[in-house]
Amino acid sequence: MTEYFDPAKYEGWVCADCNIPLQLSKVDVSYLGNSFPVDLLKCPNCGLVLIPEELALGKMAEVEKALEDK
């Protein structure tokens, strides 16, 4: 399990374009000029990244809110 989501929940998910299973990889998350590496599921062929809902609505939303000063 990564810190932000449970990869087991996404087992068997494949890239819609390449039909290849997604793999856990280091991805650079960038927002408003700030970027940092995070382990996310990614297509090893085309690089498509899956951002799990729990991350998008959790810490990622919190960072956006803080950076945008909302």
Smallest gap, in angstroms, from Cβ of residue 17 to another protein? 28
Task: Please tell me what DSSP assigns to residue 21.
Answer: B
Query: Which residue stretches of the chain are H helix?
Result: 53-56, 59-67
Secondary structure of residue 60 in the 3-state scheme: helix
Determine if 54 is a binding residue for another protein (CB under 8 A).
no
Q: Which two tokens stand for residue 14?
A: 């494949």
Window contacting another protein (CB under 8 A); options: 12-20, 35-43, 46-54: 35-43
Asked if residue 9 binds another protein (CB under 8 A), the reply is: no
Backbone phi, psi, residue 64, to 5°: -55, -45
Of the candidate residues 1, 8, 16, 66, the single one contacting another protein (CB under 8 A): 66
Point out which residues bind another protein (CB under 8 A). Answer: 3-4, 29, 33-38, 59-60, 62-63, 66-67, 69
